[in-house]
Structure 1
C-alpha cells in the first residue's frame, strides 16, 4: 500500500504545496467549509500546525476564514476559487500522467487494476471517504 501512496505523490505536480496542504484543499473542495479543529483532526496534525498551514494557504489566496453567521465565535475555513482551480489542476495533471502509464501497462495488469476498483471503492467507503 505504501507504494500506492508513493505513486500518487509521484504523479502529483510540483505546485509548491505540501501533501497535507493539498489534502486540506481537496477536503474543503469535497466537503465544504470546516472548522480548523476538524481539519486538524482529519489530517492528523495539531491545531497549531493546522493554524499555521491555513494562514499560509490564506496568504496564497487558496482559502479564507469566515465567521459563522449562526455563532460569531466560530470561524470556518472556506476554499476560494483559486483554491478550487489548484485542486482541479492537480487532479488533471495526475489523471493525465496516470493515463500515460496505463497506456503502457500490460493488458493483464490493466485488467487486474480494473477488477480491483470495486474493492478500492469499498475501502474508501469504510474509511468514510466520498466517491
Structure 2
C-alpha cells in the first residue's frame, strides 16, 4: 500500500493504521490495576458519562445484557460502581462510578501520561508542535465519533 505524503490530503488508511498501533500501545501501557479490557472500558465510560442505565452500558460496550449485568455486579461487589434508583423513574436503576472506581481510571491515566511523556522526549520540537496543532481536530474527530 502506497503512502501519500501530500500534507493537504489526509490518508485515512495511514491514519487508521497509526491510531490502531497507538491504541494498542496505549491500552497496554499501565502496569497497575490489571483489569480486563471490558472492565476498564466500562469504568472509562462511567468516568465520562456516569450515571448510566444498564441498557445504555450494554449498547455502549457492545456486549450482551447478561454480560454487562454480571460485570456491573462484580464491579459493585468490588466497590468500583454502585447502582441507585433513577430519581425520575423508580423502575430504572442507574449505574454510578464510585470514587474508588474513578481513582483506578485516574491512576491509569497518570501512569500513561508519565510513560507517553518519555516517548515524546524522542520527538523533535517540530513533531511535538505538529501533534499539538492537531489536538483540536482530534478532539473534534472524537466528538463526531461519539455522536454516532
State if a TM-score over 0.5 links the two structures: yes
- The separation in 2 between residues aligned to 1:13 and 1:109, in whole angstroms, is 27
How high is the TM-score relative to the length of structure 1? 0.87
Tell me the alpha carbon deviations over residues 3-45 of structure 1, each in whole angstroms, 9 at most, x when there is no partner: 1210211223341212221121122121220011101101111
Deviation of residue 105 (structure 1)? 2.3
Q: What's the offset of the Cα at 1:78? A: 0.7
Deviations 1:62-95 (A, max 9, x none): 0011122332211110111111111111111111
Q: 1:28: which partner in 2?
A: 46
**Rg: which structure is higher?**
2
Which of 62, 76, 100 matches 2:94?
A: 76
Q: Which has the higher contact order (CA 8 A, sep 6+)?
A: 1
Q: Does residue 84 of structure 2 align to residue 46 of structure 1?
A: no
**Residues 1-131 of structure 1 correspond to what in structure 2 (within 5 A)?**
1-128=19-146
Counterpart contact for 1:65–1:76, Cα < 8 Å: yes
Q: What residue ranges of structure 2 are gaps of 5+ in the alignment?
A: 1-18
Q: 1:2, CA displacement in angstroms?
A: 1.3
Aligned residues: 129
Structure 1, unmatched stretches of 5+, are: none
Contact 1:13 1:94 in 2 (8 A): no
